[in-house]
Structures are given as structure tokens and as C-alpha cells.
């Protein structure tokens, strides 16, 4: 496959503001005027380039951001939404009808798990949870009712790697769509180039990078994005998860530094992972050569962005995990907080936070230990000093 540099696609995207501003103008308006009723009527029928009707449909800044996201994920089109969960909801509800089935990885974000396990059955949509790394198990669940295979490029929180090219083959054979949440791996992997039909991000995380807003996006074909915005039957149009214009403008600015941030997150994440392993702590990190998905991830990666800033360690029990996280916050390592992709290091116990929606027996089945601590390693300039503080906590708690 031809080399792809998502940062170059962003670099080459120039949008001018109303008066030649280097940042596009923010349209602070919910509705737009027309010079004639005929043009308004036409816009209800189909999209007109440069013409806007109502901000639940489109507004200029959301369109600019969507275009930029499509460029960086190398898809024909994109749609921004008010949250990552709204992006997942809209994509799934657009594809699936009552009686349809989904095959999903069992290691996914807890909110997605709850949506699939508890909410979709209300609409007679059945979800089969599988080990997504076991292609034979995935195959065994495919029926003529299968409409979606769903996975995360790098799974939350156990950092398993989905074989996107092989999963894409299975979905095409089944006449289904492969939907990939790429939140953990922006720039690092481009799922659409590997066969994914729909790529989703919680832009709350790395894409925005400053933990000051909630947002999501769907990247796909023009046909699919147009279907989301159909006035009569589009999930995005009718469910109404609109992203605020000011937030869209902020995210578009931050998108231009994403490549630098991902490189630094990856560098610092690798440092933490190697140091944890050197202390004899069980460490989950896809950049280890003995990681089950290491070679697969390497084969799918874009050059120059590393293995990401996410990792997890297991300190055996919840009490130790809680003490460690409390102490690390006191030592100013970072914050005891959910989410990821922030410029400061964030850490949490997934089984009791971001994955708490997954039942305890299922957590045990997938290997999510009670002592697991997930790290989103920040952009620290002196990463050696940062880890020295972590090591101090580990030693005081006699965990090493």
C-alpha cells in the first residue's frame, strides 16, 4: 500500500475566514437567510455547496472541520457530532434495523458496551460479543442478519489490536459494514485505507487534546454521510447531535498540532512502558515486541507516529491500585481522572470507571484485572522526572 501521511493532508488544508482570516470565521447563527423561496426549497431536497439552511443540518465551521477530518482519515466525507457516543449511535442506527445483528469486540469502551448490551435490544438489534482477535470466532457468529462488525483499532483498556484488513474481508463477504473506533490511534492507523467502511472518533480525546469539550465524528463514504443527513431518514439529522460552532472551531485549530502531540505521547508512553516492565510490573503496551498484536499493528501503521500514549499496568488488587493513583496525583504525576489524550498524564482504574458498565464476570473473562491501572501518558518534557515520581510511589507502597 502506498505510504500515507495524515499530517500532510491536514497541512495542505487551507480555509480562509470571511475577511481572509487565517482561521475560518465562526458563524454564530442557528439559521440562515435566503434570497428566494425556491432556493430554500431546493436545499431541503439536497445539499448545495456553500449554502446553509439550519445548523442542525450543517453550518460552515462544522463543514470545514468535517472536511479536515475526512482528509486525515482518507475518507470521502465526514460528519461531526456532539460526542463520541453520539457518533457511534448515529452510525449504528443508520446501518441497522429491527432484527439485525452486530458482532462486536468484547473489549471496548464501557459506554459502547452498555449501548450494545443494554440499549440496542430495545430496538430488537442483537449484539454478539467476541474475542475480535480470534477470526474464527468472529466467523462463527456471522449470519444473514449480520449488518455490522464493530471493533476498536487498539482496544480500551487492554490494548488488543484488531486485524482490520481481515475483518474487512469478512464484512464484505457478509454484505455487512466494518465500523472501527479509532480513538486510541489517530494518525497512527488509518482504518479506511485498510478496508473499514466507517471510522469513528471520540474527538474529546486525542483529536482535540485539551480536555475542554466533548465531541465526536464519523468518517466514511459520501453516500453514507449523506444518508446520515437525509432530512427524512438520517440518524444524524433526526437524532440531532449537533456540535457547537465554537467548539468545532477550537478542534479544527487543535487538529493541526495532532501529529506533534501523537509523536510526543508515543515517545513518553514507550518510556513509561519500558520503565514499568523494567521494575517487574505486568504491563500492557502494544509497542512491546512480544505483544500479541505487535507485528499486526506494525503492518497497519503509518510511519513516524509511534505506538501511542496508552498503556496499562496490573498491581494485583483494587486497594493497591487506588492507593497508587491517589499517591501519584499527590506527587503531581498527573490527574486521577477518566478520559485520555490530555496534555497531562491521566490515570484511572478501568474496571471501576470507564469499563464499569461491563459486568464483573465478563471483566474477569476478558482479563480485566481488579488491579489494572490505565495510563494516558501526557506531553511531559522531562519524562524521566515524571517516572521518578511514579517509581517513588511504587516503592513507598512496596509494589516493587
Residues 186 and 305 in one domain: no
Concatenated DSSP letters of 293-328: THHHHHHHBPTTSTT-SEEEEE-SSHHHHHHHHHHH
Beta partners for 301? 189
Inter-residue contact 293 to 160 (CB < 8 Å): yes
Residues 246 and 308 in one domain: no
CA dihedral 12, 13, 15, 21 (to 10 degrees): -50
**Cα atoms in the 13 Å half-sphere on the side-chain side of 127:** 21
pLDDT by residue for the chain (400 residues), tens only, comes to: 679 999 999 999 999 888 899 999 898 899 998 888 888 878 777 777 778 888 888 899 999 999 999 999 999 999 999 999 999 999 999 999 999 999 999 999 989 999 999 999 999 999 999 999 999 999 999 999 999 999 999 999 899 999 999 999 999 999 999 999 999 999 999 999 999 999 999 999 999 999 999 999 999 999 999 999 999 999 999 999 999 999 999 999 999 999 999 999 999 999 999 999 999 999 999 999 999 999 999 999 999 999 999 999 999 999 999 999 999 999 999 999 999 999 999 999 975 555 555 666 776 666 677 899 999 999 999 999 999 999 999 999 999 9
Cell of 297: 499493528
Among candidate residues 236, 255, 274, the one where a domain is terminated: 255
Can you give the residue range of the structural domain that contains 327? 259-396
Q: Where are the alpha helices (DSSP H) in the chain?
A: 6-11, 37-45, 60-73, 84-95, 110-114, 135-140, 164-174, 222-228, 235-239, 245-255, 258-278, 294-300, 318-330, 360-366, 383-396
Number of separate domains in the chain: 2
pTM score, whole prediction: 0.95
Residues 184 and 141 in one domain: yes
Cell of 173: 463477504
Residue 28 belongs to domain with CATH number = 3.40.640.10
Cα 364 to Cα 361: distance, rounded to the nearest angstrom: 5
Residues 167 and 45 in one domain: yes
Amino acid at each position: 500500500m502506498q505510504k500515507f501521511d495524515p499530517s500532510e493532508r491536514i497541512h495542505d488544508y487551507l480555509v480562509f475566514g470571511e475577511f481572509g482570516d487565517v482561521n475560518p470565521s465562526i458563524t454564530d447563527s442557528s439559521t440562515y437567510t435566503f434570497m428566494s423561496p425556491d432556493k430554500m426549497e431546493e436545499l431541503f431536497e439536497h445539499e448545495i455547496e456553500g449554502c446553509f439552511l439550519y445548523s442542525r443540518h450543517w453550518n460552515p465551521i462544522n463543514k470545514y472541520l468535517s472536511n479536515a477530518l475526512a482528509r486525515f482519515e482518507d475518507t470521502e466525507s465526514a460528519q461531526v457530532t456532539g460526542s463520541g457516543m453520539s457518533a457511534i449511535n448515529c452510525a449504528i442506527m443508520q446501518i441497522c434495523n429491527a432484527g439485525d445483528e452486530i458482532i462486536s469486540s468484547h473489549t471496548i469502551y464501557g459506554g459502547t458496551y452498555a449501548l450494545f448490551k443494554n440499549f440496542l435490544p430495545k430496538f430488537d438489534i442483537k449484539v454478539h460479543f467476541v474475542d475480535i482477535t480470534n477470526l474464527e470466532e468472529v466467523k462463527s457468529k456471522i449470519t444473514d442478519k449480520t449488518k455490522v462488525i464493530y471493533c476498536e483499532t487498539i482496544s480500551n483498556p487492554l490494548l488488543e489490536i484488531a486485524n482490520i484488513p481481515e475483518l474487512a474481508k469478512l464484512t464484505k463477504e457478509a454484505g455487512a459494514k466494518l465500523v472501527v473506533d479509532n480513538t486510541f490511534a489517530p494518525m497512527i492507523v488509518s482504518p479506511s485505507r485498510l478496508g473499514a467502511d466507517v471510522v469513528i472518533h471520540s474527538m474529546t480525546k486525542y483529536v482535540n487534546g485539551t480536555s475542554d469539550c466533548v465531541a465526536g465524528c464519523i468518517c466514511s463514504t459520501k453516500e453514507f454521510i449523506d444518508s446520515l443527513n437525509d432530512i427524512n431518514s438520517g440518524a444524524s439529522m433526526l437524532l440531532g447531535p449537533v456540535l457547537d460552532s465554537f467548539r468545532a472551531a477550537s478542534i479544527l485549530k487543535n487538529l493541526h498540532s495532532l501529529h506533534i502531540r501523537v509523536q510526543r505521547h508515543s515517545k513518553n508512553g514507550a518510556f513509561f512502558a519500558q520503565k514499568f516492565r523494567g521494575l517487574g510490573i505486568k504491563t500492557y503496551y502494544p509497542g512491546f515486541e512480544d505483544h500479541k498484536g505487535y507485528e499486526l499493528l506494525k503492518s497497519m501503521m503509518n510511519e513516524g507516529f509511534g505506538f501511542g500514549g496508552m498503556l496499562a499496568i496490573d498491581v494485583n488488587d483494587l486497594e493497591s491500585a487506588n492507593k497508587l493513583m491517589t499517591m501519584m496525583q499527590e506527587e503531581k504525576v498527573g490527574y486521577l481522572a477518566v478520559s485520555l489524550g490530555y496534555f497531562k498524564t491521566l490515570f484511572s482504574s478501568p474496571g471501576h470507571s470507564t469499563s464499569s458498565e461491563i459486568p464483573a464476570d465478563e471483566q474477569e473473562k476478558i482479563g480485566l484485572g481488579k488491579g489494572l491501572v490505565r495510563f494516558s501518558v501526557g506531553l511531559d518534557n522531562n519524562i524521566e522526572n515524571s517516572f521518578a515520581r511514579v517509581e517513588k510511589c511504587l516503592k513507598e507502597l512496596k509494589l516493587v
